[in-house]
Amino acid sequence: MSLAASSLATEPVGGVGETSLAVRFALRELRGGLRGFYVFIACIALGVMAIAGVGSVAASLSEGLAHEGRTLLGAMRPSR
């Protein structure tokens, strides 16, 4: 085990006074200037929108199949 890996294993996670991972990423991006930070924020926003969109489409598809499943599968009343 390397020195870096051993120090990571012994660090407390989420302790008092610890900065969150998101804050550390944001501060790291700010070191490059505001232009890079804007790109970082845009990427985060795009990712959140993509996840929300996929969730919305999946929920809509499930609801539609639950309400119209029999019709879509052709399980209507038999015609005699």
Ordered by start, the domain boundaries in the chain are 33-74
In the predicted structure, residue 75 carries a pLDDT above the cut 60: yes
DSSP 3-state assignment of 1?
coil
Can you tell me the mean pLDDT for 6-16? 50
Whole-number Å distance between alpha carbons of 71 and 10? 58
Going by pLDDT thresholds of 50, 70 and 90, the confidence category of residue 7 is very low
Q: Give 30-67 pLDDT, tens digit per residue.
A: 787 777 778 888 999 999 999 999 999 999 999 998 88
pLDDT at 61: 93
* Rg of the chain on CA atoms, in Å: 24
pLDDT at 56 (0 to 100): 96
Backbone angle region of 73, left / alpha / beta, with phi > 0 → left and psi within -120 to 50 → alpha:
alpha
